[in-house]
Structure 1
Amino acid sequence: MKHQPTIVLILLISISLMLFVFDLTSKIESFKILFNYLLSPAPNLALKIINRQKELGEDIVSFVKIHQENRSLKEEINKLRYVETQNESLRKENSDLTSMLGLSKKSQQKMVAARVISRDPSCWYKTFIINKGRSSGINSNMPVIMFANNEINLVGRVADATKTTAKILLLTDSVSYVPVKNIRTQETGLIKGEEKSMLLLDYLLPFSDVRIGDRIVTSGIGEVFPEGLPVGVVHEVPLQDSIYYKKVLIRPLISWNKIGVVYILTK
């Protein structure tokens, strides 16, 4: 019994040590759990950022690729539209050539087809240049026509010609005079340029019967222009301002802004 207090003391110390170790282990484990909890989101977040940057890079590459493909498609569409426009122009030109060929065979009139290659904005309603000249049999004062509104129409005449080109004087030039007649009444006069795109029928007798809508064609007088080429229609009959002649405003049958292919009467 003498050693009983010692045994009890040792037992108490052992129990205390066990409790301390258990508590320390528990604390260490709790600290480890907390440490892992605090550190574990960082790698995940970094990984997410890296993955997002990778996805963003892929999105940018995909966007650039789609943009390039879209631009290529637009270029292809524009090319197709240009080809279709050219085809439509060729179809119209072929149709015009067919009509002109029929007229040429019927009237025994020789013609040379030419394309407008130059037009000065400062004299838009006066002259233009074509891609045919003396080497194609074209000379000064030859009539120039075109096909419009399903019929032949007078454009003007050749003013001058080089070996490979020619300058065309339009009806709308103020120095251009063409002998014409009214189909309905057969009365004759002279056409000249007036107010840019319009024409003026001059030298009609004061009592001439002229009505809005009357068709005006070449009269054949002077032998420069064949008889019967359509020129225009009466647009306005002004009040008589002369006791000698009546002047009438004529609207041409063609649009001066749509002249592309013309035909020169070489015979």
Structure 2
Amino acid sequence: MALIEEEAALLRGKNLQLSFQVESMRYLLEENNRLEELLDFQRESKMTILPARVINMSASPYLSSSLSIDVGLESGVEENDPVITPKGIIGKTTIVGDNASIVQMINDVNFRLSVRIKPSGSTGIMRWLDGGLYLIKEVQKNANVNIGDKVVTSGFSDIFPNDLPVGEVVNITDERGRFQKSVVVQINENIGSIINLFVIVDQ
């Protein structure tokens, strides 16, 4: 009986070890795929983009949201440079040091982004609403906007180039007593889990 219990304990230990190995391999595979996506994006981009890595993140949904990245003046970064991932807008640089920069994130309560809704071409100013949701107010009521429409940068900004991906329309409501409507957008990127990103330089 004792021998059987000992063998069972050994098997449980081996199974646990195998589970750890499988989980480790899965993580490495996901990490490899993520890095391949970043490399492909950098190779295919028509913009001059500088790879960067997040070194610190400070986010509060009610105050300001920012992160620090490991590139700065010595790498060609300037104030108000757009910060992106392959999926979309992350924010813009606000303070730039020699070898590090602070980025104001898109979910900062003071961040505003000029956007366009495809395919209608309707434009508006997008701001953070809650979690991964963002709000575009004062869209013309007769604009042909539908759930699932893509949202991109409008090109009207001096900071963000035209047609960068932002998110997708998930809700539309009429503004009471007005000839306009509000559009709720789910952004493409999960900004709380960002590790690698890019800074658009030399625009």
Regarding TM over 0.5, the answer is yes
Instruction: Name the counterpart of 1:40.
Output: none
Instruction: Name the counterpart of 1:146.
Output: 85
Aligned equivalents of 1:77, 1:190: Cα separation in 2: 48
8 Å contact kept, 2:59–2:65: no
**Which of the pair has the greater relative contact order for Cα pairs under 8 Å at 6+ separation?**
2
The answer to which structure has the higher strand fraction is: 2
Which structure 2 residues correspond to residues 6-17 of structure 1 after superposition, within 5 A?
none
Which structure 2 residues correspond to residues 210-249 of structure 1 after superposition, within 5 A?
210-243=145-178, 245-249=180-184
Which structure 2 residues correspond to residues 150-229 of structure 1 after superposition, within 5 A?
152-229=87-164
User: How much has 1:179 moved relative to structure 2?
Assistant: 1.1
8 Å contact kept, 2:57–2:68: yes
Distance change (3 Å), C-alpha of 1:242 and 1:156? farther
User: How much has 1:205 moved relative to structure 2?
Assistant: 2.3
Instruction: Name the counterpart of 2:72.
Output: 133
Aligned equivalents of 1:156, 1:79: Cα separation in 2: 37
8 Å contact kept, 2:151–2:169: yes
Instruction: Name the counterpart of 1:89.
Output: 31
* TM-score, with length taken from structure 1: 0.62
Identical columns (%): 20
8 Å contact kept, 1:171–1:199: no
Aligned equivalents of 2:157, 2:103: Cα separation in 1: 19
Aligned equivalents of 1:175, 1:242: Cα separation in 2: 27
- The structure number with the bigger radius of gyration is 1
Other structure's SS at 2:175 match:
coil
8 Å contact kept, 1:143–1:225: yes
In the alignment, which of 53, 56, 69 is matched to residue 115 of structure 1? 53
Which structure 2 residues correspond to residues 22-101 of structure 1 after superposition, within 5 A?
82=24, 85-86=27-28, 88-101=30-43
8 Å contact kept, 1:172–1:198: no
The answer to which structure has the higher helix fraction is: 1
Q: Cα RMSD over matched residues?
A: 2.8
User: How much has 1:123 moved relative to structure 2?
Assistant: 5.2
8 Å contact kept, 1:214–1:234: yes
Other structure's SS at 1:94 match:
helix
8 Å contact kept, 2:123–2:154: yes
User: How much has 1:127 moved relative to structure 2?
Assistant: 1.6
Aligned equivalents of 2:21, 2:96: Cα separation in 1: 36
Aligned equivalents of 2:26, 2:143: Cα separation in 1: 50
Aligned equivalents of 2:170, 2:32: Cα separation in 1: 33
User: For structure 1, which segment, 154-163 or 84-93, has the greater mean C-alpha deviation from structure 2 after superposition?
Assistant: 84-93
* TM-score, with length taken from structure 2: 0.80
8 Å contact kept, 1:173–1:194: no
> How many residue pairs were aligned?
193
Aligned equivalents of 2:190, 2:94: Cα separation in 1: 21
8 Å contact kept, 2:61–2:109: no
Query: Unaligned 5+ residue runs, structure 1?
Result: 1-58
In the alignment, which of 186, 197, 200 is matched to residue 262 of structure 1? 197
Aligned equivalents of 2:73, 2:29: Cα separation in 1: 30
Other structure's SS at 1:222 match:
coil
